[in-house]
């Protein structure tokens, strides 16, 4: 029991440290600075997200082909490039900082795949992965708090603050990557139950997609919907809370995220108790459908004025993460384990992630360049209802498709 706890803690801390190079700059508002009638802060956020999106598309090849030897070197090189981009961001005048935020975002996009490669293919991956997956919920708030401390108490300028935040986490990140590298390989029992995870060639990737075309499409489409709604919630959460009348309650963010994190961790972590892979894979679909139901019904009730805004936001947050988190840590893990095919989680996750970020980028660009002024609580609530209906349909399609594939596999044996 100590090994999965130790591994989960190291993976959690490693990826939480990565966020120090991704999120702190968003705290800098650059008040009054605009270009092309768009705030400089927004331009920087869009630039970084586009870089992140490109890395997800390239990561389909890069992460799926990643060799197990020397991963720590790859991780440190990527983080050094990202940190170096923050140094150059501090030196150049606006708006050229956009270039270096794009460069900053590109290498960061590979880190999730590298970190997850250390923990996949184990009987305890469900628990370890669930802990890792909630790291970005915690780390987003924690690294922003560090950024605020640097700006307010340490009087670091807005341009230098992102680089200094990275400096604070540089040694801890290097230590956690070193400790990840020291984690033992999956045991023979792990490989027997979860299948060996190997780098994939171009032919391997084509073969995998050909074998599961409909299921991968359904899963990717579902994940894209979840990513768009999650990003709208994250990017405009402050606006929504203000519209709901909670603008002066600064603890509301922490309360909502902490409750959600605890419930998700328990729910996903307990899947480790289901040893039969097809049974666990089916149950993951049930969790995702339950998440859509919770998010959709609570949003419909809010639209109909049957529940108040605070309760709605708690329920819709939990529902969306019940759908989103399984894709991040266990959906593809159990898919590979069920069918015992050559592959790795990174390949499948980066397919889903690339289209998820593409959808989010299109929404973000549409809002800024079409100068859309909306009440985000209305857009979000109605959007969740629509997405939930579609998401339940595509998840049911995925459920029956993979069940049919499994029956064909069993009949062929």
DSSP string across 24-63: GGGG---TT-EETTEEHHHHHHHHHHHHHHHHHHHHHHHT
Please state, in angstroms and rounded to a whole number, the distance separating the CA atoms of residues 307 and 240. 16
Residue 137 confidence (pLDDT)? 74
Choice between 88 and 41, residue whose per-residue pLDDT is larger:
88
The answer to whether 225 touches 362, Cβ cutoff 8 Å, is no
Residue 254 confidence (pLDDT)? 66
Confidence of residue 183 (pLDDT cuts 50, 70, 90): very high
Q: Which of 45-49, 225-229, 252-256, 297-301 shows the lowest mean pLDDT across its residues?
A: 252-256
Residue 57 confidence (pLDDT)? 94
Domain range 197-413, its CATH number among 1.20.1250.20, 1.10.3720.10, 3.40.640.10, 2.40.30.170: 1.20.1250.20
For residue 94, count other CB atoms closer than 10 A to its CB: 15
Confidence of residue 311 (pLDDT cuts 50, 70, 90): very high
Is the N-terminal amide bond of 95 cis, ω within 30° of 0?
Answer: yes
- Average pLDDT value over all residues in the chain: 89
Confidence of residue 365 (pLDDT cuts 50, 70, 90): confident
Residue 92 confidence (pLDDT)? 94
Q: Work out the average pLDDT over 52-68.
A: 92
Q: Which of 68-72, 77-81, 85-89 shows the lowest mean pLDDT across its residues?
A: 68-72
- Measured in whole angstroms, the distance separating CA 403 from the mean position of its chain's CA atoms is 27
Nearest to 63 by CA among 375, 337, 332: 332
Query: Does this chain's domain 1-194 share its CATH topology with 197-413?
Result: yes
Residue 148 confidence (pLDDT)? 82
Please state, in angstroms and rounded to a whole number, the distance separating the CA atoms of residues 211 and 205. 10
The answer to whether 381 touches 319, Cβ cutoff 8 Å, is no
Q: Is the pTM of this model over 0.85?
A: yes
pLDDT of 364 over the 80 cut: no
Q: Work out the average pLDDT over 136-143.
A: 76
Confidence of residue 264 (pLDDT cuts 50, 70, 90): confident
- With pLDDT > 70 as the criterion, what percentage of the chain qualifies? 96
Domain ranges of the chain: 1-194, 197-413
Nearest to 361 by CA among 371, 372, 369, 373: 369
Confidence of residue 372 (pLDDT cuts 50, 70, 90): low
Residue 413 confidence (pLDDT)? 62
Domain range 1-194, its CATH number among 3.50.50.60, 3.10.50.40, 1.20.1250.20, 3.30.830.10: 1.20.1250.20
């Amino acid at each position: 029991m100590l090994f999965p706890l130790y591994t989960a803690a190291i993976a959690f801390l490693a990826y939480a440290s990565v966020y120090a190079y991704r999120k702190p700059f968003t705290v800098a508002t650059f008040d009054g600075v605009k270009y092309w009638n768009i705030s400089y802060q927004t331009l920087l956020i869009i630039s970084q997200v586009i870089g992140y999106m490109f890395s997800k598309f390239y990561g389909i090849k890069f992460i799926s082909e990643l060799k197990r030897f020397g991963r720590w070197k790859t991780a440190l090189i990527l983080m050094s490039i990202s940190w170096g981009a923050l140094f150059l961001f501090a030196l150049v005048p606006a708006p050229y900082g956009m270039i270096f935020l794009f460069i900053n975002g590109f290498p960061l996009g590979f880190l999730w795949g590298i970190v997850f490669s250390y923990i996949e293919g184990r009987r305890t991956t469900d628990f370890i992965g669930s802990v890792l997956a909630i790291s970005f919920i915690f780390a987003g708030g924690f690294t922003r708090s560090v950024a605020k401390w640097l700006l307010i108490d340490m009087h670091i300028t807005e341009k230098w603050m992102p680089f200094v935040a990275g400096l604070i986490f540089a040694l801890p990140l290097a230590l956690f990557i070193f400790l990840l590298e020291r984690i033992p390989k999956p045991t023979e029992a792990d490989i027997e139950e979860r299948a060996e995870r190997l780098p994939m060639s171009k032919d391997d990737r084509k073969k995998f997609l050909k074998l599961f075309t409909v299921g991968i499409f359904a899963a990717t489409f579902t994940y894209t919907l979840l990513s768009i709604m999650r990003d709208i919630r994250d990017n405009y959460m402050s606006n929504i809370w203000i519209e709901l009348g909670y603008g002066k309650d600064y603890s509301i963010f922490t309360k909502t995220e902490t409750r959600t994190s605890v419930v998700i961790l328990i729910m996903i972590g307990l899947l480790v108790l289901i040893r039969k892979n097809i049974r666990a894979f089916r149950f993951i679909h049930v969790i995702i459908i339950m998440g859509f139901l919770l998010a959709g019904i609570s949003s419909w009730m809010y639209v109909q004025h049957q529940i108040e805004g605070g309760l709605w936001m708690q329920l819709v947050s939990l529902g969306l993460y019940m759908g989103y988190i399984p894709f991040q840590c266990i959906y593809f893990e159990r898919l590979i384990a069920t069918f015992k095919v050559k592959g790795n989680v990174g390949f499948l996750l980066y397919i889903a992630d690339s289209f998820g970020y593409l959808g989010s980028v299109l929404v973000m660009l549409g809002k800024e360049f079409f100068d859309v002024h909306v009440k985000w609580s209305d857009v979000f609530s109605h959007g969740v209802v629509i997405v939930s209906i579609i998401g339940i349909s595509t998840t049911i399609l995925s459920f029956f498709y993979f069940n049919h594939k499994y029956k064909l596999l069993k009949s062929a044996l």
